[in-house]
Chains A and B, each alone.
Chain A
Amino acid sequence: GAVVSQHPSWVICKSGTSVKIECRSLDFQATTMFWYRQFPKQSLMLMATSNEGSKATYEQGVEKDKFLINHASLTLSTLTVTSAHPEDSSFYICSAPRGSAREQYFGPGTRLTVT
């Protein structure tokens, strides 16, 4: 089956610093990847759509200058949380569709804690 990895699986950083999260499709190419954020007992909320070779599309209310997305290759998208604050602490998950399939393959998630 299709496999998506994320790195790191968890990270603790100090307020004001930046954190980069990587999302890789291991056995397929993904021209599009999605970044979600999930707070405890809440649904996955789409933050942005990452497009290989072009700019990401951000959902309303998500600051593009704070959450930088780079889709550098057909297998890698990165999310950088800049000047992180405690309220950015959350579970960040990426996903990718494979080919023309409707279902999506999710990474294992990254737990970010900002102190």
Chain B
Amino acid sequence: SQKIEQNSEALNIQEGKTATLTCNYTNYSPAYLQWYRQDPGRGPVFLLLIRENEKEKRKERLKVTFDTTLKQSLFHITASQPADSATYLCALDTSNQAGTALIFGKGTTLSVSS
């Protein structure tokens, strides 16, 4: 069966440390993988996307890796801050064309303590 799993439901780390979130999938062949941030009671906000032929993507303190052999993406937040506390969702983009629906994981709730 098709599955997308974010291995940790919750992750607690101290300010300044690097948070690493994991997204694994089975029986999908995504052309892209996207990461979103969702705050309580709000809609998701796009953070980063990575193509299937890219190994790594960076944006400020964020880094995403994508290993299509392992069927896994890692999402890193370096020098984490309490303001980074939120739920982070990975989403598979399986279509060859833009404008198609995404398949979401349940998310990992990150708590950064000062």
Binding site for B on A (CB under 8 A): 4, 6, 31-32, 34, 36, 41-46, 49, 91, 93, 95, 97, 99-109, 111
Q: Which of B43, B46, B106, B107 contacts A108 (CB 8 A)?
A: B43
Question: How far is B99's CA from A107's CA once the two chains are assembled, in angstroms?
Answer: 16
Closest CB-CB distance, B107 to chain A, in whole Å?
Answer: 7
List which B11-50 residues lie within 8 A (CB) of chain A: 32, 34, 36, 41-46, 49
Q: Which of A43, A45, A107, A111 contacts B41 (CB 8 A)?
A: A111
Query: Cβ of B106 and Cβ of A42 under 8 Å apart?
Result: yes
Binding site for A on B (CB under 8 A): 4, 9, 32, 34, 36, 41-46, 49, 89, 93, 98-99, 101-107
Which residues of the partner chain A approach B98 to less than 8 Å between Cβ atoms?
A: 97, 99-102
With A34-B101, A97-B98 known to touch, is A105 a contact of B41 (CB < 8 Å)? no
Q: Which of B4, B34, B45 contacts A102 (CB 8 A)?
A: B34
Query: Cβ of A44 and Cβ of B93 under 8 Å apart?
Result: no
Which residues of the partner chain B approach A41 to less than 8 Å between Cβ atoms?
A: 9, 106
Query: Cβ of A105 and Cβ of B46 under 8 Å apart?
Result: yes
Residue of A nearest to B51 (CB): A102
Among B34, B43, B105, the one with the most A-chain Cβ atoms within 10 Å of its Cβ is B43
Closest CB-CB distance, A97 to chain B, in whole Å?
Answer: 4
Which residues of the partner chain A approach B99 to less than 8 Å between Cβ atoms?
A: 31-32, 97, 100
Closest CB-CB distance, A87 to chain B, in whole Å?
Answer: 20
Query: Cβ of A106 and Cβ of B44 under 8 Å apart?
Result: yes
